[in-house]
Structure 1
Amino acid sequence: MSKIKTLSIIIFCVACVLVVGITIGLQKYNNLTNPHKAFEKDLKQQDLLIQKNTQRQLDLYGQEIQEKEDVDNSSLDNLDSSKNVINILLLGIDSSEKRESKRMGYRSDTIIVSSVNLDTKEVKMLSIPRDTYTDVPGNKNKDKINHAMAFGGGPKKKGNQYAVQAVEDLLGINIHYYITVDMDAVKSIVDTIGGVTIDVERNMASREKVLEKGEQKLNGEQALIYLRDRNTSIGDFARIEQQQKFILTLFQQTKENGKLTDILPLYLKVQDKIFTDLKVEQIGALTYLLKDIELDNIETFILKGKGIRIDGIYYLEIDRNHMEKIIIENFQSI
């Protein structure tokens, strides 16, 4: 074979590789800048589920809703019109060298369902109290919902899947993805972006470290004190409100500082402390979408209930009427 012919073959092969590489690159870029494309498969499946399940949801809730004066009848339309919505379960866990060495179980003390509408750029966030008494995979009896992660063996085993199933069974909605964040990752993220300014509601403490009341810029370690503290008369509900406030503040300040584009690099930096079934391009697509989301278009909810004790252990029995009203009016019911 002549040198010219050999060179031509090499050039042709290199050109083919470049064409394939550019094509794949353009496809991934398109996914990054077009959330509908990044989640195309899920959205198509969602349409099919909506068509199949609308009548089932109407049968379950329709008569009951119509009998309640405090529920707008137009909420029934949401069962059929909620399209292009992605439900993501956000879980917060605490790990440490001590927990790792003693093989202590992980519990997801932060449980938030975030529903993102790709069309309207609206976000709904529903916090589920960690003590919620419900069916939990891995246990034949009802238990606290935050135990699902531990029963599944933690985030590196089946903990995420168990947590997703527990939330789906409780709320009656489909969870498309999960993001489990170790609180150490939150610390690193806050320090990397230069802190978060927030108005601390009261004096808070963790071991010897004190966080004083008032507006201030929190570093990573201080942010963890704020996110964990529940030393008030309303206990875990105070912590939930603080977590929601922190997330919204972090989002707004990151957006105002033009730092939203840093989210993907930050994720890659701390990904050993984050567990998710989202692909990198999907995370990028959601980051791209955040630029068009206004703080006023983010709405937060908290499940409520009453405390009960079983065998001396505290649980929260959820107010199911309150829960169903929130789900039907605000969340994807498929």
Structure 2
Amino acid sequence: MTSQKIDHKRSKLSKTPHPRNWFWLGFGLSGVAMLSATVGALLAVSFSLTPLLQRHLTREEAAIFSKGGSITRSNLRLPELTRPVNVLVMGMSVLTTDVRNPPPEARNLSYQAQVNSFDGLSDVMLLVRFDPKTEKLTVLSIPRDTRVEMDGVGVIKINASNVNGGPAASARLVSQLLAGVQIDRYLRVNVEGVQKLVDALGGVTLDVPKDMKYVDETQHLYINLKKGRQHLNGDQTLQLLRFRHDGLGDIGRIERQHVVMGALMEQALNPATVTRFPQILSVVQSNLDSNLSVEELLALVGFSAKIDRSNAQMLTLPGEANNISVKRHDVSYWLPNYKRIQEMMAQYFDQG
């Protein structure tokens, strides 16, 4: 398939609202065991209200997220949102070669292993708006190849902003890209945690769309799945998510992500999931980094669980794919259309 045809399909796909996206992966990791009021109440009691931080934020970095003030209020049941909230969600996939100090068990390996870290490229970047006034949820997907200019660094792909400055720098850059929109909180999800989450849930049942076979010795990536409906464990689910070696490339992988997210949400709503709470909680604690407090996280999860899925609007950053020559090498970028971005932000994010 030519790049033009793939770009056309990407454009067509991005215009179609879909109730499932990588967003559900982030909140699957953080909220899969908190969808019932009972479990939510237990969490509120057992945790302090400090942020779920894996990374310390300086005062200057924390100030980027605090301009809008408080976002929740407590009542006798679950905490509630008091105003519209914008959360930057980043999905991290980090290899040993992406970090300076890999964990001891991952050192001196002959291949690139996945590591439990938040310091790499953000393969997925979403701005999610929770609006209690309209009872709508809006998810804006920002392509990882989006071309931006970062202070002190120069022209980069936006997925490298986390490497060059962490979540606060990413939030500042995303705000500049999106007509100055306020970003209230961030949430980073380690993709390695998907495998652990699925295993903690007891696996997921879904349809594998076709036979998939691929080997990459440099990462010890071995994909071998058969077509059909089946029950997958964590490793098999990760194989499905990582496969992209067909004519559709990343577009095909996005479609498979939708399938997995649907299966995860269905499993999360299963009453038996509550019995697996300790295992799920362990995954959340080690594979999520956020400056959301537990109270705020519960408010967001509670809001997401009760809204009508028809009120979940999925958007993609307006722009076009293009190759640009950089130092005699062609680099693929997503070039933002700033006029259309401004119109979109005014319509969906009250920015204007």
Return the TM-score normalized by structure 2: 0.62
Native 8 Å contact 1:255 1:291 kept in 2: no
What is residue 151 of structure 1 aligned with on the other side? Answer: 164
Report the AA paired with residue 336 of structure 2: I
Where relative contact order (Cα < 8 A, 6+ residues apart) is larger, the structure is 2
What does the per-residue CA deviation read over 1:146-180, in whole Å, with 9 as the maximum and x for residues that have no partner?
A: 0001112xxxxxx1111112211112222111110
State the Cα RMSD in Å: 3.4
What is residue 110 of structure 1 aligned with on the other side? Answer: 124
Mapping 1:291-330, distance limit 5 Å: 291-303=305-317, 304-311=319-326, 312=329, 313-330=331-348
Pairing partner for 1:190 from 191, 198, 218: 198
Partner SS state of residue 299, structure 2: helix
CA spacing shift, 1:260–1:136, aligned 2, 3 Å: farther
Native 8 Å contact 2:197 2:283 kept in 1: no
Native 8 Å contact 1:88 1:176 kept in 2: yes
CA spacing shift, 1:90–1:126, aligned 2, 3 Å: same
- TM-fit CA distance, 1:291: 3.1
Q: Which moved more, 1:235-244 or 1:190-199?
A: 235-244
Pairing partner for 2:187 from 175, 179, 183: 179
- TM-fit CA distance, 1:246: 3.5
- TM-fit CA distance, 1:101: 5.8
What is residue 225 of structure 1 aligned with on the other side? Answer: 239
Mapping 1:71-150, distance limit 5 Å: 84-96=83-95, 99-100=98-99, 106-139=120-153, 141-150=154-163
What is residue 168 of structure 1 aligned with on the other side? Answer: 175
CA distance in 2, matches of 1:143, 1:220: 33
CA distance in 1, matches of 2:75, 2:149: 41
Report the AA paired with residue 150 of structure 1: V
Contiguous gaps of at least 5 residues in structure 2: 1-44, 50-71, 103-116, 216-220
CA spacing shift, 1:34–1:142, aligned 2, 3 Å: same
**Which runs of at least 4 in structure 1 moved beyond 4 Å after TM superposition?**
96-105, 256-265
Contiguous gaps of at least 5 residues in structure 1: 1-20, 41-83, 153-158
Partner SS state of residue 85, structure 2: strand
CA distance in 1, matches of 2:275, 2:299: 11
What does the per-residue CA deviation read over 1:4-48, in whole Å, with 9 as the maximum and x for residues that have no partner?
A: xxxxxxxxxxxxxxxxx9xx99x9962861313xxx4xxxxxxxx
What is residue 216 of structure 1 aligned with on the other side? Answer: 230
What does the per-residue CA deviation read over 1:170-221, in whole Å, with 9 as the maximum and x for residues that have no partner?
A: 1222211111011122221111112233333444446322233443333222
Native 8 Å contact 1:89 1:164 kept in 2: yes
- TM-fit CA distance, 1:253: 4.0
Residues 1:239 and 2:253 are matched in the alignment: yes
Report the AA paired with residue 80 of structure 2: P
What is residue 75 of structure 2 aligned with on the other side? Answer: 30
How many percent identity over aligned positions?
A: 27
CA spacing shift, 1:243–1:299, aligned 2, 3 Å: farther
Partner SS state of residue 177, structure 2: helix
Q: Would you say how many aligned residue pairs link Structure 1 and Structure 2?
A: 258
- TM-fit CA distance, 1:113: 1.5
CA spacing shift, 1:136–1:243, aligned 2, 3 Å: farther
